[in-house]
Each structure stands twice: as structure tokens, then as C-alpha cells.
Amino acid sequence: MGKAKVAIIGTGNIGADLLVKVQRSEFLECTLFTGRNPDSPGIEFAKNMGVNVSYESIQAIEDDPDCCDIVFDATSARAHLYHAPILEKLGKFTIDLTPAHVGVMCIPAINMEECLEYQNVNTITCGGQAAVPIAHAISRVHPDVSYFELVASISSKSAGAGTRANIDEFTQTTRVALSEFTGVKKTKAIIILNPARPPVIMRNTIRAQLENPKMDELKLEIEKMVKKIAAYVPGYRVVVGPLYENGRLTTVIEVEGLGDYLPKYSGNLDIITCASVDIAEAYTKRNG
């Protein structure tokens, strides 16, 4: 099976990290890396990798629709609202790395197969990819959970312009994902950009309100979910819990990156780019 041709729109931190992973894949090949800023470090990075680049953003794909089979959108939520109908008209399988929530929400460890039936797949947020699966595992054991809360803490240094522009969309889309994948209506999501030096590794604290927890079953279900995610995000691990006190279950997840474009503390990049590549590879294997 030949490699699928992919285009990446967005030349910031997420786009550049994604590029490294795509080029390492045995199923994918980046044929276009496109954005709007010719002075972007990502553009220079792609050039040095020998990848075809453009400063025309999505227009480059409109001008040459045959340049790719799959499109990754690593821009911003607002930009994806503009890009989505264009890519739909062009018939491109689109993986949206922004919190725009135009397409179906996808977490590979939970609902990969059904998502491949859709043309536009949304990877939610870095916090969504890291924490929602744990909430999902908890809700499988305890569908009686009354409240879920996520606090995602990432290094400020790993948050590029797109991430900073999408703080509101991050909290809203992640909150919606928490409810959608658990069936719990009352949820909250918070993101913290930590300026500490040296930079901190991404940590996600998941809290659930419930009574009479089945701790052995919870630990087993969480361990199963962590194993599934670590298969495509090697730096994903539990560092605290699950612990139960005063009606509240707490679990803390840490995500260490592979160090592809930014240092290993940028697990917030890896969790979403690894998930995106996993989706693209599954689509390619299914349709190749």
C-alpha cells in the first residue's frame, strides 16, 4: 500500500510537530505544508526537511486539489470555520486539530472506527484527548457520577499563538466532550498556562463526584484506558490515583512528549498530534 498524501494547514508549534510525525509514518507523506506567515519558524523547519511549502494557506489546496488525500487543520477554531466547508466541497478527509467542533469528536481509544465514517473529524483539545478518556473509564464503572472537572496545566512556553487564541474554545469544547463521552451533564474544564522555569510537563487533573466508589474496578478500567492511549502516545501515564476522599475521586495524568519539534515537556502537542496521526493512519489503512 502506497503512502497517503497529506497537507498540513498551520505552520505553528502544532503543525510543525505534526509534520515530524507524519514524515515518520509508514502510511503518510506530507506533500504540502501551508500557512500565511512566510517568516514562521515552522516554514523554515519544513523547508529544511525537504517538504513543499506555501504561504497561501488553504488557497494552495484549492488551486491544486490533487496535492493531497487528507488535510490536517492546525490553525485556529475561527480559521477552521472558514476552512471546513471548502474542504468538504473538495471531498477531503479532514482532521481538525482546533477546538472548532465542526466535525465529529474523536478520541482514538474510544470511538475511532465510527469516526472514520465522517469526512470531518475533530480531535477536541489536548486536554480533551488526555482527560476525557479517564472520565469515560470512570463513568463506565460509575454511571452515577454527578460532576466531572478537568484542570489541564501546560507549560506557557509550549503554547503557541493558536492555543492562546483558542482559550475560550478550549474550555467550551472540552467541557462538551466531557459530557458527550460520559453522559454527565454537569462538567467543567479549565486550562492553566504555567510560566514556571524550567517548563513543566503537561498534567491533567480529573475530579469526579460520586458515592461508594468501586475502587478495584475503577483502577482496572483506568489502567486499561491508559494502556490503549499509551499505544499511540508513549509518554501518557497516571501519576496520582485514583484517590477518593469526601465524595470526590481524583486522578492525575501526565503527558511527556517525544521531543519532536519542541522539548519533551510539550506533551500537550504530542497528545493531539499523535492522536491525529493515529486517525489518519487508520483512515489510510481502511481506504488504501
Own/partner pairs, 178-181, CB within 8 angstroms, 24+ separation: 178/128, 178/131, 178/132, 178/135, 178/148, 178/150, 180/105, 181/105, 181/107, 181/110, 181/132, 181/133, 181/135, 181/136, 181/139
Q: Is 126 a catalytic residue?
A: yes
Q: How far is CA 174 from CA 36, 46, 52, 239, 249, in A?
A: 27, 30, 33, 21, 19
From 30, 68, 115, 126, the catalytic residue = 126
Cα 6 → chain centroid: 17
- Residues 25, 49: Cα–Cα separation, whole Å: 14
- Sequential pLDDT tens for the chain (288 residues): 689 999 999 999 999 999 999 999 999 999 999 999 888 999 999 999 999 999 999 999 999 999 999 999 999 999 999 999 999 999 999 999 999 999 999 999 999 999 999 999 999 998 899 999 999 999 999 999 999 999 998 888 877 776 777 777 888 999 999 999 999 999 999 888 888 888 889 999 999 999 999 999 999 999 999 999 999 999 999 999 899 999 999 999 999 999 999 889 989 889 999 999 999 999 999 987
Query: Interhelix angle for 13-24 vs 41-48, to 10°?
Result: 20
Query: Interhelix angle for 215-230 vs 126-141, to 10°?
Result: 150
| Burial of 113 (C-beta count, 10 Å sphere; 0-12/13-18/19+) | exposed
Q: Beta partners for 70?
A: 6, 93
